[in-house]
Amino acid sequence: MYSIFWGIGNKTYLPLLTLIPIFNIVWVFVVGFKGNEWAWQKGDYQDVETFKAVQTTWNRAGIVQFIISIAIFVLYMFFFDSLVANI
């Protein structure tokens, strides 16, 4: 969910390829599997613990964004349902 911002934040610009329609369906999974490796190679981390702490923060941000987007979708569906029910 957060691959574009994550890529920019980690100086790894390959996740920007997820902006390409159709190709992004596959590329999201590639970023999921290879992303931490790319971030470690491009990053300027002191040690593995610092790297893991930074990535844990990014993971939390992605989970929060996912939960918020699901909540907005559910609210939208309730709103749309109420509009259709009134017609």
pLDDT, tens only, 12-21? 888 988 889 9
CA dihedral for 27, 31, 34, 39, sign (positive or negative): positive
Residue 1 pLDDT: 62
Burial (CB count within 10 angstroms: exposed 0-12, middle 13-18, buried 19+), residue 86? exposed
State pTM to two decimals. Answer: 0.74
Token code pair at residue 79 = 């709103």
pLDDT, tens only, 70-79? 999 999 999 9
pLDDT exceeds cutoff 70 at 68: yes
Q: Do the Cβ atoms of 6 and 35 come closer than 8 Å?
A: yes
pLDDT (average), residues 29-51: 91
What are the E-state strand segments in 1-87? none
User: pLDDT category, 37, cuts 50, 70, 90?
Assistant: very high
Residue 34 pLDDT: 92
- Of 76, 65, 56, 68, nearest to 84 by C-alpha is 76
